[in-house]
Amino acid sequence: MIVIVAPGQGSQTPGFLEPWLTEQRFADQLGAISEAVGLDLVAHGTTSDADTIRDTRVAQPLIVAAGLLTLSALFADGRRSKIGGIAGHSVGEITAAAGAGILSETDAVTFVRERGAAMADAAALEPTGMSAVLGGDESALLARLAELGLEPANYNGGGQIVVAGALDALAALAAEPVPGTRVIPLQVAGAFHTRYMQPAVGRLHDVATGLTANDPTLPIWTNRDGSSVNTGAAFIDLLVGQVSSPVRWDLTMASLADAGVTGIVELAPAGALVGLAKRGLKGVPSVAVKTPDDLTAAFDLIDSESGVS
């Protein structure tokens, strides 16, 4: 079973879409998405610098747009019928919703535009941030987080947990880390997937009422607890609540293993989830589609699984 995975915020790098835009079909698709969200994603994907594309209002639509370009290529020539399921990490769940048929491309980019704006506004209310914590004992780390008023935001598996909260508390954690851990500050604008994002939830609930939610036509798993979701309405509800609740990518990977995953294809801007899969889904072949040059390897993986030569 081949599963497609869609990355989250932080996977973007300056100029990463430039190779895609040499093909007119992708240039046209990105131009249409840019118009829909009111952002020049062509410029942001090619010439904008790292600070510009780190802005949550830019980063989230840019990442989802890149995923949609990749999906259009992967699903051409009937290959969608050969895919066993799809999952996304954080904002990548919006890409996954489009891939599963829950949201149209238009509704997906509408939702991500509002999500990025709502989360940016929530982040501006207090000085907060995020840090990746590698290694160590999870129970000891969680106890230390509680002492500092920090929260686990992303359980990424493979001994990696991203924590979030007030900047002074993150600094205290870095100064006195839990034994056996390494703390790496992340260049993000706020404490995503924590209580600090609660102001964004109400706004996104209002946005969600204007979306058309179709039931998925591909199996899809949620970050909430790794379970599969069978109705579009339920998945949209999870997308709304997700902004202030932890991303359980560890449980998502466990569910993929239980479902019998035999290969993973990561959408652009790819790399992070394939890296996590190498630790959390050891031995499962994977392809990171970073540029159109990587599509051939993705096609080969998909076609080999379905017995097509």
- The residues annotated as belonging to the active site are 90, 193
> How far is it, in rounded angstroms, from Cα 52 to Cα 69?
21
Over residues 158-213, the pLDDT tens digits come to 889 999 999 999 999 999 999 999 999 998 889 999 999 999 999 999 999 999 99
Same domain, 90 and 144: no
Q: pLDDT > 70: what percent of the chain?
A: 99
Domain with 118 in it: what CATH number? 3.40.366.10
Over residues 228-274, the pLDDT tens digits come to 999 999 999 999 999 999 999 999 999 999 999 999 999 999 999 99
Domain boundary (168, 185, 202) is at 185
Same domain, 228 and 172: no
Domain boundary (162, 185, 208) is at 185
pLDDT for 135 equals 95
Same domain, 297 and 211: yes
If you average pLDDT over residues 90-113, what whole number do you get? Answer: 97
Q: How confident is the model at residue 10 (pLDDT cuts 50, 70, 90)?
A: confident
Domain with 141 in it: what CATH number? 3.30.70.250
Same domain, 39 and 167: no
Place of tokens 């993973």: 264
Entry pTM: 0.94
Same domain, 75 and 203: yes
pLDDT value at 306 more than 70: no
Domain boundary (141, 157, 185) is at 185
Same domain, 251 and 145: no
pLDDT for 188 equals 85
pLDDT for 144 equals 97
Over residues 102-136, the pLDDT tens digits come to 999 999 999 999 999 999 999 999 999 999 999 99
pLDDT value at 298 more than 70: yes
If you average pLDDT over residues 10-26, what whole number do you get? Answer: 95
pLDDT value at 308 more than 60: no
Same domain, 111 and 17: yes
Same domain, 116 and 133: no
Same domain, 167 and 222: no
pLDDT for 309 equals 37
Over residues 74-87, the pLDDT tens digits come to 998 889 999 999 99
Same domain, 272 and 255: yes
Same domain, 171 and 244: no
Over residues 137-151, the pLDDT tens digits come to 999 999 999 999 999
Total domains, the chain: 2
Mean pLDDT of the chain: 95
Domain that holds residue 175: 128-185
Same domain, 212 and 163: no
pLDDT value at 307 more than 90: no
